[in-house]
Structure formats: structure tokens, C-alpha cells
Amino acid sequence: MSKPLVVQKYGGTSMGSVERIQHVARRVKQTADAGNRVVVVVSAMSGETDRLLGLCQAISSNSHPREADQVVATGEQVSIGLLAMALRDLGQNAVSLLGSQVAIRTDRAHTKARIQAIEGDRIFRELDAGRVVVVAGFQGIDDDGNVTTLGRGGSDTTGVALAAALKADVCEIYTDVTGVFTTDPNMVPKARKLARVSYEEMLEMASLGAKVLALRSVEFGAKYSVKIHVRSTFSEEEGTVVCQEDEEMENVVVSGITYNKNESKIAVRGVPDQPGVAARLLSPLAEANIVVDMIVQNLSAQGHTDFTFTVPKSDTNAALEIVERLAKELGATGVECDRGIAKVSIVGVGMRSHAGVASKMFQTLAAENINIQMISTSEIKVSVVIDEKYVELAVRVLHSAFGLDAPDA
């Protein structure tokens, strides 16, 4: 019977200094000494990716995605080499591999590539030779042999994708928090750490603003049933396991509260209420790679309606340029933009079998005179757009209303 296979991923904070890399090496060796085969995925040292991107921008104001990937991918190359050295100094045989050496095959979308396949032969050969394999996160190689990077959170994605491809027993995501909390503990001191959370809940939380796991990594986990254990690099305590939903999870109505302050609201006033108008407005945004989130269309009045939607704050200016041009073409009466909004969401698989969850959310916010501007729902989440200045209050009162406060806080 072969030894258990553990994939561990360490982020930039965990790899932020020589001392921290040596600490990571000790944790990795401890896992190997416990009788496991170990594959480690690491990010660039904290701040290094931003430094390299800054160099690219200082050299050229033009976008050169292929060359930017060549530069930015070196951050992880430094990390894997240093960690492999630290492991060898502890007496643990180790080898470092770039994404191209594994090989992690991606599409050709530089700076935001998606993993298409992973060839595990090289990794298994190294494991069979008794080595810990240290793999560069965040990067891969396309069919033409070009280096690609996976975008923000790409090392999480590399870790979970490797665990899926290698059929690992678990993928441990090490970070600077001890797990997944009911909400941001920096905002709500009474937030509780969750022992377990379903893939579906974690997908919603990641897409709605929770920063613990990258969305794409959770998608991989759900698709291939990878057991993901989110835990702290700097603590021995158990973290949060992301896994398949079970009956016990369904008994909890709301598992978490998320918020996102990085969106703007755009309203197109007096749009002709005709078939195809929504497509005329949204298709050019999609072509410009601008993600539209929440959408509300008012009831028609005298043949005209208002069409409102949210976009990422970073895309607001580009979206406005497109929408203002389209509004003129459609004969709309005007375009308004509000950058001072935030989205607050409640998430829980138990919503499927419990009535009155949305009304309780709305009543709780109304009791604090917090006006709801937009609403979006799914089977397991309710999201509302409110004024950004009320975010902290909204999260705190909802956290209490749905019984998520830690009893000893």
C-alpha cells in the first residue's frame, strides 16, 4: 500500500522572509516524516509579484502580456529554489520544478491563463525517488512553449489542480488565517471559524468577496472532489475543511456573511422597453471582458424602463465609456454612476429547506435604516447592494440576526 499523498500550498505571506521559508521547510519535513509523500506549491515572496509588475509598468506603458508573464513568473522560481534548499539543509531530499517542468498545460490567455491538463509523470518519478517536490504556483506553459500565469489567486488554483491530477488524499492550503470564518473577523470580532463548509457555499463566498480561497481553486475542488483543508502556516490548530455537502450542513440556515466594496453601480435611465435592448447594452461589455454582476430592470412606464447593473470598480471608467455611447444610440435619457456602493451577502446551503430567510435579512437591515438598492438571489445566497458607508453595520447585525456570533465572544 502506497503512502498517503499530501499537496500543500503556501502563500506569499508564508514565504515572506528567509525565516518564514525555513519555518515552512520545517512544517513540510514534519509532514514527510509522518509517512506522507509531499508535493508543495508555493507563491512568490510577499510583495514580489507587485514589485515585478511595477517594473513592467515602469519600462512600458503598453500592454505586453507575454513578456509580463516572463517577468512575473520569476517570483515563484525564486521561492521554489529557496524552499528546496531549506529542505535539503534539514536533511530532507527535495527538488524544485517550474510549471513548465511539471508540465502544467494552459491555454494561451497570458496573465489570466486557465489550466487544461497536468502531466504527473515527472512528479511521481521524483516522489518515488524519496523527494519532496516543490512546484511553482501561479504559472504554466501553453502549447507553443510560452510561459503563462494564472492571474491573482493562481497558486491556490495550482495547488488544488495538482491535488486533483495526482489524486492526492488532501490539499492543504496554508495561509495567514486559521480557516474560513463566518465573516471577516477583522470587521466582526464575534466571527467564528467553520469546521467544515461545502464546495457550493465556498464557491459563493469566494465569488462574493471572501478572500480566503481563490474562486477557480474551489471550482477545481468541487469538480474533482478534492478535500481542501484551509489552515494557518503559523498555528498547529485544525482549520476548515471544504468538502461535499452533507445533511448536517443543511441544518445550518446561514453559514457566512460576505461583503464586497469593489463594485460600482451604473444605471441607464429611460431605455426604450423593446426586445434585445439588454443584449445591446451587455454584449459590448462582455466583449471588453467587463464582468457584469447584479442586474435590475424596472417595470416599463410609458414604453421606457431603467436598466441598472454592477461592475468591478476597476472597470468602471471603461464600462461608462461603452454604456454612454450605447445610451445615445438607444435614445436613453441618461446614464448615472455610483461608486460608493457595496454588496453584502448571506450564504448557506440550509436556505434550500428553510423559508423566510430573505425577509429576515431585509427586516434586519430595515431596522437599522439601511436602504436596499438592488437584490439578487440564488438557491443558497441572498445579495443586496447598499451604501458603502453602512457595510460594517450591515455585516454585524446580520451576523447576529442569523445566530453566527461566537458564544464566548
- Asked whether the beta carbons of 381 and 345 are under 8 A apart, the reply is yes
The count of C-alpha atoms lying within 13 angstroms of the C-alpha of 408, restricted to the half-sphere facing its C-beta, is 1
What pLDDT band is residue 400 in, cutting at 50, 70 and 90? very high
Mean pLDDT of 324-347: 93
SS3 category, 362: helix
**pLDDT tens digits, residue range 265-324?**
999 998 888 888 889 889 999 998 898 999 988 776 677 889 999 999 989 999 999 999
User: Closest by alpha carbon to 265, among 231, 330, 309, 216?
Assistant: 309
Contacts of 380 (CB under 8 A, 6+ apart): 200, 201, 204, 347, 348, 349, 351, 352
Which cell numbers hold the place of 34? 509522518
Q: What integer best gives the mean pLDDT of the chain?
A: 91
pLDDT of residue 353: 79
Distance from C-alpha of 278 to C-alpha of 276, rounded to nearest angstrom: 6
Pairing outcome for strands 37-42 and 132-136: parallel
Spatial distance between the Cα atoms of 264 and 316, rounded to a whole number of angstroms: 7
Phi-psi region of 270 (alpha: psi -120 to 50; beta: other; left: phi over 0): left
Q: H or E segment at 65?
A: helix 65-72
- 179-205 per-position pLDDT tens digit: 899 998 889 999 999 999 999 888 888
At 21, phi and psi to the nearest 5? -65, -40
Amino acid at 184: D
What CA–CA distance (Å, rounded) separates 152 from 391?
25
Which of the four pLDDT bands, split at 50, 70 and 90, describes residue 354?
A: confident
pLDDT at 252: 77
Distance CA 319, CA 355 (A): 37
